[in-house]
Amino acid sequence: MATRLVQINMKAQDDSVLGRFWAEALGWGVDSEGPGVTNLEPVGFDYPDPTAVCIDIITRPEPKAVKNRVHIDLATTSAAHQAELVARLKDLGATLADVGQGDVPWTVMADPEGNEFCVLEPRPVYRDTGPIAAVVVDCADPRAMARFWGEATDWTVHEVAGDHASLRSTQGVGPYLEFVRTPDIKSGWNRVHLDVAPYRDDDLTGEESRLRALGATDPGIDQSSISWRILVDPEGNEFCLLSPR
């Protein structure tokens, strides 16, 4: 059995407004499961497919209070493309952000609800990822996180170093999942988190047990009213185990 990363879950005070921003930023389509939920995926996308990690935006009343531990890096193909994308994102409502990055070749921005993301300078490694180069997770131990998520999913570990680690779908398509060492301490529930799903013929309960054996734990909340499972990775990051699909 195995899971794979299928989407990012992002909380918002207004899911439809934030959904429109990210749909225009990525050139993706917009769908909705109902009031308070906006789904984003590439036009013509056959969900789930490793060529893209989709985005679910869920309305929650709480405003953003701290820097997110999960963010998106956007890919560019040239210096001109990077400048053009930054300008277009500003026109859509994004702003420049300072998270202590200093003088770096990428541009740190925030979406209309303050969620940080990066517009990267051109990098050959991201030439075929699509608009999202990577989903990035802040952590204390990239090596340990790569070990857990490499066993939790069927994604392949590509690189492990002291300050970062990266994984990608075994099919070699779509964005990377990256873990970057940061000094920040996790505070409260993550406003952005990962959603993983078992394959269609796998068993949700069995997969939950397997993830717990790898080091996932219970967040300590009542889950009796939902059909999926909420778990916590070894560094305390919440993630959802969705129904097999």
Distances (CA, A) of 156 to 51, 85, 136, 172, 184: 14, 30, 16, 9, 27
Using the predicted structure, report yes or no on whether residue 218 has a pLDDT greater than 80.
Answer: yes
Give the CA count within 13 Å in the CB-facing half-sphere of 231.
26
Using the predicted structure, report yes or no on whether residue 239 has a pLDDT greater than 80.
Answer: yes
Average pLDDT, the chain: 96
The average pLDDT across 175-182 equals 98
pLDDT above 70 coverage of the chain, percent: 100
**Cβ atoms of residues 119 and 109 within 8 Å:** yes
Identify how many contiguous H helices and E strands the chain contains and give both numbers.
Answer: 4, 15
Highest average pLDDT, of 31-40, 127-136, 181-190, comes from 127-136
pLDDT at residue number 33: 72
Using the predicted structure, report yes or no on whether residue 194 has a pLDDT greater than 90.
Answer: yes
Using omega within 30 degrees of 0 as the cis cutoff, is the peptide bond preceding 48 cis?
yes
pLDDT at residue number 31: 85
The average pLDDT across 18-36 equals 93
pLDDT at residue number 34: 81
Q: Which amino acid is at 164?
A: H
pLDDT at residue number 202: 92
Q: What confidence tier does 143 reach under pLDDT thresholds 50, 70, 90?
A: very high
pLDDT at residue number 241: 98
pLDDT above 90 coverage of the chain, percent: 93
Determine how β-strand 95-96 pairs with β-strand 107-110: antiparallel
Q: What is the pTM assigned to this prediction?
A: 0.96
